[in-house]
Each structure stands twice: as C-alpha cells, then as structure tokens.
C-alpha cells in the first residue's frame, strides 16, 4: 500500500520513472576513436548515454534495440544550413522571397527540419535566416515539432549592396521592416546589430565579409566588409558568448577575417596554401559546403530562370572551383567541419563530395560529428557516443567506411533517447 501511494505521489508530482535502453551495435564509430569497434552495447537512460560496454549486454528492465547488423554513429551535424531555405531547382528564388512571410517560412522550415532529422542530422547551425529560425529552434527544443537541435545566427551581417543585402536587384522603392537587420556599414553598426541579434534570440553570428554567388550585383572575388567592421563584430559576439561564422571566398579576405578572429570560414573556395596555413595556425575551421555549389551549378545550367536575376552566369563561372580547391584544404591539415548550405534537400550529399575530393571516410564522419560539435562549442554534449552525452545516435545498414552512399541510407535515428526513425527489415518487423 505504501509503495502504491509512493508511486502515485511521484506521478502526481510529475516524476517519471527512468527509461533504460540498450543498443546492440554491430559496428560502432563513436566520433572520437580513429577506428571502428565491433559488437558493442550502448547503455542509455532517458535522454543521455550512461555507458559503453564490449559485447552484447542486456541489463534487467532495459529495452533492447538490435542494430547488430548496422554501423552505428553519433547523430550527424550540419554546420551550415538555412533551415527555411528552398532548393533553387524547384522554386523561383525572388518570387518565393517576395511572396512568403516569416510565418510561411516557419512552416516550410518545420517540414525541412523533420526531413533533416529523418536523414540522420540531430544538430545543425542555421547561418542565415529570419525570426522563423529562432521560433523553430524554440519549438524543436520544446518538443512541439521534430527536428535537429538548432543553433541560429539570424540574418547574416554585411554591407549595403553586399551578399546579404535583401534589396539588391529589387525595385529600390520596395521596403520591408526586416530588411535592415542584416546591414552593417560601420564598426558601430556591427556592434549594434550583433547585440540586437543576441536580444532577438541568436546564439551565433554570421558575417558576409566578401561578395557571394547566388546574389545580384556583388562580386565573390571582392572583400566588402572592412577589417574594422569584422573585428568589432567578432569582439562583440565573443564578449556575448557567441561564435562567428564568416562567408568568404577570396584568399586575402579570408586572411583578414582569420586575423579578426572569426571561428569558421564558410566556403573558403578561393583560398591558397598560405591561407589554409594561416587558418591552421589560428585554429580556424573551414566549412567547405561543396553540396551547394553542385546544386546551384545544375540549377544554373538547367533552370536559370529560377535563380535570383543575373546570378546564373556567376554560378556557371564559379561553382566548379570549390571542388577543385578542396584537395588543397585537405592537404593543408586545416580543421574541417561538415556543412551543406541547404535547407530543403539531401543533407548527406556532402559526405560523397568530400570523400571523392580527398577526405577519408573516417575524416568525413569526424567532420560531421566531433569537429562540428567542437565548432558549435557543444563537444561536452553532442558529436560523440560517450557517457554523459545526449543519446543522439544514428545507424545505416551499409558500410560508410567503404561506400559513401551508406550515409544516404540512414535507417535508425535517435535524438535525446527518443527514436525518430527505425526501418527494420520486413522479416524482423513481422517477427515482433
């Protein structure tokens, strides 16, 4: 009687009995070790991993998840997404931008976030979006919609007429309340915008020191922010506990941004061996985003009418250069973190591109797990399978160390101890 009372008192107080789960992993790539292990048990209590043991153990009361025929990895992390962004091959970019509110984009983002999670991505950095990205992060954290854990930058900061200026190419008389959120033309404006972003819910800052490719009127070969603007943006962000991601192509601009203290160079496509050596010396990450260049090259070739006006020529002239330059980055030993630059779309495609252009499969996995978690600043809770970390765990029936397409066949996704996907072979499912 006393026991029953105790249990009901606990339930009434909202206390939930701990849930124990054990995963039997046929092959385990833990996101720390350089080699895979065979036949390992991962012990999970509620949302956290509590232990890793050799062999298949089945503690009393624990639910067993049989992944003995699969390769088990930490939840994957995409460090460069635009969670509410559409694929350029399906929707006209300008039409979408002018006909969808932040609320509309939030619903699109919710759909893409769910798809990302199904693809095995349990965490992501959104490096350029509007207030819908903050709302999505909060809704995902609260368990209202499924999706990866998100770190969001809000609007990417850059100068008037730069890569992040929403007015470029539009009728100059058009205006929108949010369009000034990305503009910094002085160091003082950089300081103010970083602080405003913090107030509006950002947990990192993105800057646009150089021009870009998928934008009207700017030149990806030019540095457009001043060194002082970059320095003040970085100092202010760091003083508020936020990291800084910097979209940059040209070598000289990358070197200036590295000296200004940015934490990662996004794209970095026109870097030289000297640039990568400087990044390595400063510990600056490269997030190469080979995926987006493939996607946009095909769009520019097959559907130029869907791109932002005047950008198809820029895409065709520049989008093949990043892959050409990537082996130089690999050779330099610069730290690489995984990033696609996609919202809608196949977030696993970057694995195949990085591996085909010089990274080993294990290095590619570490880029999307250990390194990505380190760049985000969350290595103590995500990015590897070890005790004390969130139970963010994925599996594929294929062998990702031999076949890059295995990353596109993720069959099991657990985030924070909750199973979001589990495709079992028909025979196994029928036997239950």
Binding site for Zn ion (CB under 5 A): 341
**Nearest approach, Cβ of 292 to Zn ion (angstroms)?**
7
Residues comprising the chain, all counted: 432
Burial class (CB in 10 A: 0-12, 13-18, 19+), 305: exposed
Residue 184 to residue 126: CA distance in whole angstroms:
20
**Nearest approach, Cβ of 147 to Zn ion (angstroms)?**
18
User: Looking at residue 289, what DSSP letter applies?
Assistant: -
Distance (Å) of CA 153 to CA 194, 299, 344:
10, 26, 18
**Nearest approach, Cβ of 249 to Zn ion (angstroms)?**
12
Strand partners, 126: 81, 152
Residue with Cβ nearer Zn ion (132 or 341): 341
**Nearest approach, Cβ of 104 to Zn ion (angstroms)?**
20
Distance (Å) of CA 187 to CA 124, 190, 192, 223, 230:
29, 5, 9, 15, 8
**Nearest approach, Cβ of 342 to Zn ion (angstroms)?**
9
Residue 14 to residue 214: CA distance in whole angstroms:
50
Structural tokens at position 366: 């570490």
Residue with Cβ nearer Zn ion (341 or 344): 341
Burial class (CB in 10 A: 0-12, 13-18, 19+), 215: buried
**Nearest approach, Cβ of 182 to Zn ion (angstroms)?**
13
Residue with Cβ nearer Zn ion (43 or 233): 233
**Nearest approach, Cβ of 388 to Zn ion (angstroms)?**
32
Q: Which residue number has the CB closest to Zn ion?
A: 341
Distance (Å) of CA 139 to CA 79, 133, 144, 198, 203:
20, 10, 5, 18, 15
Residue with Cβ nearer Zn ion (349 or 391): 349
Residue 140 to residue 112: CA distance in whole angstroms:
12
Strand partners, 37: 28
Residue with Cβ nearer Zn ion (78 or 341): 341
Residue with Cβ nearer Zn ion (165 or 341): 341
Residue with Cβ nearer Zn ion (294 or 341): 341
Q: How many CA atoms lie within 13 A of 159 on its CB side?
A: 21
- Closest of 422, 408, 412, 286 to residue 345, by C-alpha: 408
Residue 299 to residue 292: CA distance in whole angstroms:
10
Residue with Cβ nearer Zn ion (30 or 165): 165
Residue with Cβ nearer Zn ion (79 or 260): 79
**Nearest approach, Cβ of 190 to Zn ion (angstroms)?**
19
Residue with Cβ nearer Zn ion (255 or 341): 341
- The SS3 call for residue 80 is strand
Using an 8 Å Cβ cutoff, are 77 and 364 in contact?
no
**Nearest approach, Cβ of 242 to Zn ion (angstroms)?**
17
**Nearest approach, Cβ of 127 to Zn ion (angstroms)?**
6
- Closest of 69, 73, 42 to residue 56, by C-alpha: 42
Structural tokens at position 403: 């076949």
């Amino acid at each position: 009687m006393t026991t029953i009372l105790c249990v009901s008192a606990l339930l009434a107080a909202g206390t939930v009995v701990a849930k124990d789960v054990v995963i039997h992993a046929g092959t385990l790539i833990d996101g720390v070790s350089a080699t895979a292990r065979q036949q390992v048990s991962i012990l999970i209590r509620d949302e956290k991993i509590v232990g890793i043991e050799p062999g298949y153990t089945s503690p009393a009361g624990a639910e067993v998840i049989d992944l003995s025929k699969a390769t088990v990895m930490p939840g994957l992390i995409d460090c460069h997404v635009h969670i509410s962004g559409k694929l350029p091959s399906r929707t006209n970019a300008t039409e979408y931008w002018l006909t969808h509110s932040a609320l509309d984009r939030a619903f699109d983002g919710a759909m893409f976030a769910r798809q990302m999670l199904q693809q095995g991505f349990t965490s992501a950095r959104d490096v350029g979006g509007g207030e819908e990205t903050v709302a999505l992060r909060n809704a995902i954290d609260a368990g209202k919609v499924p999706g990866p854990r998100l770190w969001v930058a809000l609007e990417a900061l850059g100068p008037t007429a730069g890569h992040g200026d929403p007015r470029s190419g539009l009728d100059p008389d058009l205006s929108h309340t949010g369009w000034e959120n990305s503009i910094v033309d002085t160091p003082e404006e950089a300081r103010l915008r970083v602080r405003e972003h913090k107030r509006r819910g950002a947990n990192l800052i993105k800057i646009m020191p150089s021009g870009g490719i998928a934008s009207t009127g700017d030149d990806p070969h030019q540095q457009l922010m001043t060194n002082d603007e970059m320095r003040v943006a970085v100092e202010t962000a760091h003083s508020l506990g936020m990291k800084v991601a910097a979209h940059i192509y040209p070598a000289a601009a990358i070197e200036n941004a590295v000296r200004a203290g940015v934490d990662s160079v996004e794209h970095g496509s026109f870097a030289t061996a000297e640039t990568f050596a400087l990044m390595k010396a400063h510990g600056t990450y490269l997030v190469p985003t080979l995926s987006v260049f493939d996607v946009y090259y095909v769009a520019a070739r097959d559907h130029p009418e869907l791109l932002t006006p005047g950008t198809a020529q820029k895409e065709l002239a520049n989008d093949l250069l990043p892959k050409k330059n990537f082996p130089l980055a690999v050779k330099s030993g610069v730290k690489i973190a995984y990033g696609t630059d996609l919202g809608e779309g196949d977030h696993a495609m970057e694995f195949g591109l990085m591996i085909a252009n010089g990274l080993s499969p294990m290095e590619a996995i570490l880029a999307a797990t250990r390194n990505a978690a380190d760049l985000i600043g969350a290595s103590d809770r995500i990015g590897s399978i070890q005790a004390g970390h969130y139970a963010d765990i994925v599996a594929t029936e294929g062998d990702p160390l031999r076949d890059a397409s295995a990353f596109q066949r993720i069959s099991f996704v657990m985030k924070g101890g909750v199973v979001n996907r589990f495709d079992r072979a028909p025979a196994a499912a029928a036997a239950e």
